[in-house]
Structure 1
Amino acid sequence: MSNLLNEKMPIYEQIRNWLADQIIDETLTEDDKIPSTNEIVTYFKVNHITVSKGVTELVDEGVLYKKRGVGMFVAEGAREKLLASRRQGFVENYLKPMLEEAKKLDLSESDIQKMIDKNGSESE
C-alpha cells in the first residue's frame, strides 16, 4: 500500500476523498477527465476493486459520470455538491461535538469566539 494512504479509514474512502479534494480545490473542474482506474491503481499501489468502489461512490452521488469507452468525467455542479456535503459533515463531526464540550466546560459564545480568533490568527 502506498504511504500516501493511512490506516485510519478504508482505502476506497481515501481514494474517493482524494478525487473529491481535487474537485473542491478545482484541480479537476466540470467535464475534466479523471485519472483512469489503472492510473489510480498504479499511483496508490492498491487493488482495482478498491479504486472502483471509491469512484463508484462519486458516480452514485452524481459527482462523476461515465462516457462508455472513454472514461470518467467530473459532472456539472460536482464541486457544489461536494462542498454542501462536506459542510454538513463539518457541522455533524466537528461543530456539534465542540459545542457540546463547550457547554460542559461552561464556555460562553464569547469565550469560544476568542479561542477561534486566537487560534485562527496563529495558523495564518
Structure 2
Amino acid sequence: DLLELVIDKMTNKEYISGTHEAVKTIAEWEGVEFDGFVCVIKIAWETFGLEGSLDLKWLPETLADFSVWWNNLSGSVDLTALPNSLARLRLSKNTFSGRLNLTQLTPSHVHF
C-alpha cells in the first residue's frame, strides 16, 4: 500500500504499523480513519513521539485531514503533491527544516 511509503523513513513507525513480528494491516493502523473501510479520510498521528521524516506525496487521494503535530519529525516538507481532497494539514511542533513551496497549493488548501 502507498500509505506505507509515507512512513517508510520514520525510525519508530511501529507505533503506527506494528512491529516486524506483529505487522498490522492498514485497517489496523493507529490513527487512521476510513469511510467504511474503503478510503482513508483522516490520519491523526499526534503526540506519538514519531521520529524521522515523512513523504507526503504518497498521502491517499481521499485524505481530508492529516495531523502529525507534536512529534519529533524532521527533514523538509514537500507541499507540491498534496491530495486535492486535503482540507486540514497540521505539522506544528516538529523539527522540520527548509523552505515551503506554497505556490502549488490548490483552492481547497486555503485553510493551511
**TM-score band (shorter)?**
under 0.3
TM-score by length of 1: 0.25
Query: When the two structures are superposed, what TM-score results if normalisation uses the length of structure 2?
Result: 0.26
- Which protein is richer in strand relative to its size? 2
- Structure number, greater radius of gyration: 1
**Higher helix fraction (1 or 2):** 1
